[in-house]
């Protein structure tokens, strides 16, 4: 039987800390949140591996690798009172981690089954400052905008313009831009009605629905 508490410590010590993640609040959150609770029962034994763990019936959605998630969150510089939009929250693990850092988290999920699991699991975990909402991921959730931070729980092949428009002035959006092994973790900072992007590190993540590059017309 897997000792999940030990697996959690090993994940942090062997994947997160060695990747220049030094934010003590974030490290404490990842040590506390039971990642296995957000993974289907049949896959809990692999919950803490250095992989994108598949969730959902189709297996096309996943929890981001712990290292990638941690580095994106650290780059966002989340403060206690921040309002955060978690795009593609899947089963809610990322939202549970974010909830320990931010004042309010809006967890957006368009897959009805995943949204239901996220809501139930977050409630069972005692998380009270996360609202799970449903809707197309690429459209964001303008009703609660503007946000201090937006996190994409997956990759985008396009600049997420609709999401950038939902940032406060000075807000940050973090995401993996590009698909496959050529992806780049990127931070966008909103200022003066626009946003500028900066590459952070090489990363790969599953492509989120609605974020694929439009097919080019071929004669």
Count other Cβ atoms within 10 Å, centred on residue 154: 24
Count other Cβ atoms within 10 Å, centred on residue 213: 11
Whether 210 is in a domain gets the answer: no
Give the span between the Cα atoms of 64 and 86, in whole angstroms.
Answer: 12
53 and 39 Cβ atoms separated by less than 8 Å: yes
Give the span between the Cα atoms of 87 and 142, in whole angstroms.
Answer: 12
Whether 102 is in a domain gets the answer: yes
Task: Please give the pLDDT value at position 165.
Answer: 97
Question: Where are the strands (E) in the chain, listed by range?
Answer: 53-55, 61-63, 83-87, 104-109, 130-134, 147-156, 167-177, 184-191, 194-202
Q: Which residues on adjacent β-strands are paired with residue 218?
A: none
Whether 159 is in a domain gets the answer: yes
Whether 147 is in a domain gets the answer: yes
Q: What's the DSSP call for residue 67? A: H
Residue 25, domain extent? 4-202
Calculate the alpha carbon distances from 170 to 126, 163, 165, 192 in Å: 31, 14, 12, 9
Whether 46 is in a domain gets the answer: yes
Among candidate residues 134, 81, 84, the one with its CA nearest the CA of residue 109? 134
What is the tens place of the pLDDT at every residue in 65-76? Answer: 999 999 999 999
Whether 217 is in a domain gets the answer: no
Give the span between the Cα atoms of 41 and 32, in whole angstroms.
Answer: 19
Ranges of residues in the chain whose predicted pLDDT is under 50? none
Task: Please give the pLDDT value at position 31.
Answer: 98
Whether 215 is in a domain gets the answer: no
* The residue to which tokens 């994409």 are assigned: 152
Give the span between the Cα atoms of 9 and 18, in whole angstroms.
Answer: 13
pTM (predicted TM-score): 0.95
Give the span between the Cα atoms of 58 and 77, in whole angstroms.
Answer: 33
CATH of the domain at 192: 3.40.50.150
Domain count, the chain: 1
Burial 96-121 (b: 16+ CB within 10 A, else e): bbbbbbbebbbbbbbbeebbebbbeb
Helix (H) or strand (E) holding 162: helix 161-164
Whether 209 is in a domain gets the answer: no
The total number of residues written for the chain in this structure: 219
Task: Please give the pLDDT value at position 216.
Answer: 62
């Amino acid at each position: 039987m897997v000792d999940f508490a030990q697996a959690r410590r090993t994940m942090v010590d062997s994947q997160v800390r060695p990747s220049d993640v030094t934010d003590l609040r974030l490290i404490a959150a990842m040590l506390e949140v039971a990642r296995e609770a957000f993974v289907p029962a049949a896959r809990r034994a692999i919950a803490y591996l250095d992989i994108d763990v598949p969730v959902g019936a189709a297996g096309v959605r996943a929890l981001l690798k712990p290292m990638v998630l941690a580095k994106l969150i650290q780059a966002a510089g989340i403060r206690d009172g921040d309002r955060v939009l978690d795009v593609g929250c899947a089963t809610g693990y990322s939202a549970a981690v974010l909830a320990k850092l931010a004042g309010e988290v809006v967890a957006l999920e368009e897959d009805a089954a995943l949204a239901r699991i996220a809501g139930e699991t977050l409630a069972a975990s005692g998380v009270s400052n996360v609202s799970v909402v449903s809707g197309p991921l690429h459209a964001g959730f303008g009703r609660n905008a503007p946000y201090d931070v937006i996190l994409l729980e997956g990759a985008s092949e396009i600049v997420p313009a609709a999401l950038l428009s939902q940032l406060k002035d000075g807000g940050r959006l973090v995401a993996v831009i590009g698909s496959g092994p050529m992806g780049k973790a990127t931070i966008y900072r909103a200022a003066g009605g626009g946003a500028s992007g900066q590459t952070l590190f090489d990363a790969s993540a599953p492509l989120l629905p609605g974020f694929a590059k439009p097919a080019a017309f071929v004669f």
